[in-house]
Amino acid sequence: MTAEESKSTYSGTSEYGGHPPSSITEDIYPVHTLDDIKTLRMFINWTMCFNDVLDPEKLHNSLSRLLNIGDWRKLGGRLRLKDDGKLEVYVPRPFTAEQQAVTFTHADFGMRIEEHPVACRFPRPTDRPYIQHISQDFLPFMARQNFPTTIEEMIRQKLPQISLHISSFSDATLVALTWPHTMMDAIGQQDLLQGWSLVLAGEEQKVPPFLGAREDILLEAENSTNYKDQGEFLLERNRLTGMSKLIFIVRFLWDKFWNPPREYRLVFLPRDTFERLQRRIQGEVAETAQSGAHIPFVSEGDILTAWVTRVVASSEPKPRPITVAIISNARFRLPLLINSEGVYIQNMLCLAFAFISSQITRGAAGPIALSHRRQIAEQMTEEQTLHLLKTMRRDIESRGNPRFEFGESNAGIIVFNNLTKADIIKAAHFGPAVLRQGEAENSRSNLPGTMKAFFARDLNMAVPAVNDFSMLGKDYDGNYWLRGNLLPRAWKKMEEELKNSWRTD
């Protein structure tokens, strides 16, 4: 049975959810500067697999109820372009059957998930590592048919920002959330899932306050007395300008022309496979320490970043330096945000950079991990973060996007996004919506109503022109879920590494 043959329901007065009658009043919310970045005008999708049969109406109703609480209403609004080309959010007051907070669709397949020719290939934990291509075949489980292909199309159709698409099987449920990246980052998604779970459990009073809906807390941080404009912005030492910038652009275009397209794939690392990798790299780190000296600390994120960096570098025809761009989150770098008594559902993403020489990239992964940790730590202080935020804001207001032109002119680029702090797989607790347990207690490690597996990507399946790798997080067994956009030769190298990690201890 296909999605077209399955039972499907859609909440709204038309295929596009209807248009608001002129008599309905609305609330207007701003889109903050770090949200209104042109490169964020894309759709993010998380497709979550639950090994239980969930009640789709309970999930829809509880999510809609959450978006009726205080300024959580902002997430139920519609995007609109202002005359100056910037975005704002308008929220119907109140939400109605014609103007709902969420676009909701449901498909019931009436079979076990393993019996479906495509759904049976949904990523799942195994005892061995693997690399899996996520193809266009998965799109019917990610969003409804005729989902808008651009943010501009969503604006024209006056659709809610959040789309909830549920696929039901007789032993499992796929819950797919899609939203424009202008709405929030992964930590915002974590807060959304936790708030949604509280409402579903009848604990609405525990939902945290939605902070910063109208006032940008990052702007407040930039203007705080802790920010010292006289201090040096460390990254400026490595900014590309003039001829070096021109060489970088020409080299980038040359690589893009001669290389085949990058490929999006999901990587599953069982816990024991990661532990082997961890022991190996920690041993390499220990070898760098002088006799009797303290062995430097490297995190799990440092280890994974170093491993992928070495794989990509060793797949290059010739040695070259690597610029490692790390997506980090200001929530964990500014005391004003760490000590908040509510949640900020917005984008607080910023970048830090590690510049790895060609000599180090072709060697062991341990020195890469150490270099990465040292450089990132220097850039993640409160003062350096505020410098970066101010620089980003100036760029966005003048040209729509921040400029991240740092490193050597002949360097390869890898963008890393470590989402393990968001802990998405453990953020949703949908136990009250369980109609029937899909997997027996003796074969599962997660509680009923919690996630078994997941994947995330741009809904349009666009592939960036640079190497891009994300640590999506760990599941209940401690297995790592990763995703990447790499050249075919890098994927081949990684497959060889994973085979070797399985054969040897």
Residues annotated as catalytic are 181
Q: Count CB neighbours of 220 within 10 A.
A: 11
Contacts for 370 with CB less than 8 Å, ≥ 6 apart: 285, 288, 296, 298, 302
- Cα-based distances in Å from 457 to 95, 204, 354, 441: 29, 30, 25, 31
Under DSSP, is residue 193 helix (H, G, I), strand (E, B) or coil? Answer: helix
| Bridge partners for 49 per DSSP | 174, 453
- Cα-based distances in Å from 207 to 2, 76, 377: 38, 16, 33
Amino acid at 281: I
Structure tokens at 311: 């794989």
CB under 8 Å, gap of 24 or more: what pairs does 397-403 form? 397/33, 400/37, 400/38, 401/37, 401/38, 401/39, 402/37
In 3D space, the residue among 195, 167, 200, 166 whose CA is nearest the CA of residue 430 turns out to be: 200
Q: Is 112 exposed, middle or buried (0-12, 13-18, 19+ CB in 10 A)?
A: middle
Under DSSP, is residue 62 helix (H, G, I), strand (E, B) or coil? Answer: helix
**What phi and psi, each to the nearest 5 degrees, are found at residue 471?**
-95, 100
Q: Count CB neighbours of 171 within 10 A.
A: 16
Amino acid at 76: G
Contact between 313 and 307 (Cβ < 8 Å): no
Length of the chain: 505
> DSSP character for 182?
T
* CA–CA gap between residue 173 and residue 135 (Å, rounded): 20
Contact between 105 and 166 (Cβ < 8 Å): yes
Transcribe 265-288 into DSSP letters. EEEEE-HHHHHHHHHHHHHHHHHH
In 3D space, the residue among 209, 170, 184 whose CA is nearest the CA of residue 53 turns out to be: 170
